[in-house]
Amino acid sequence: MFALDSRLQQDTLTIGDFPLCRLLLSNDANYPWFILVPRRDDISELFQLDVADQQQFWLETTALAELLKDLFDADKMNVATLGNVVSQMHMHVIVRKRDDAAWPAPVWGKLPAKPYNAEQVEAIRAKLRLVLTEDFTFLEG
């Protein structure tokens, strides 16, 4: 059974599910920062997924990055899997703009996280509902 790492649970908001991955929103309003987590047990590395899941993972990652780039008018998409702190396999998909607070540096550790308020979260969910229509299930949480 899929279980989300407790650090991801405490630092993110659940958006919904693709066929393979849970889509999370990092609770940091400084940047539109999304995280994809394959719903598979005991996976810490991409190569531990079977070939079909690897292909699905990349399809979901690239589709999400492209949608977010257009939706948020990004100057650059930062897409990375690190896992040094949270070993559960996850992919960061971060919208970057030339005028964001950390540009051009990485977002990690640059500013304290600024939690979203309820209206901001609903606005993001509403935007996503316009573009995530096929093979996506919205979840509350």
Taking the domain 8-131, which CATH number applies? 3.30.428.10
| pLDDT tens, residue by residue, 71-97 | 999 999 999 998 888 999 999 999 999
| pLDDT tens, residue by residue, 34-59 | 999 999 999 999 999 999 999 999 99
Sign of the Cα torsion 128, 14, 135, 56 reads: positive
Tokens of 109: 């550790």
SS3 33: strand
Q: Report the chain's mean pLDDT, rounded to a whole number.
A: 96
The pTM of the full predicted model, rounded to 2 decimals, is: 0.96
| pLDDT tens, residue by residue, 108-131 | 888 999 999 999 999 999 999 999
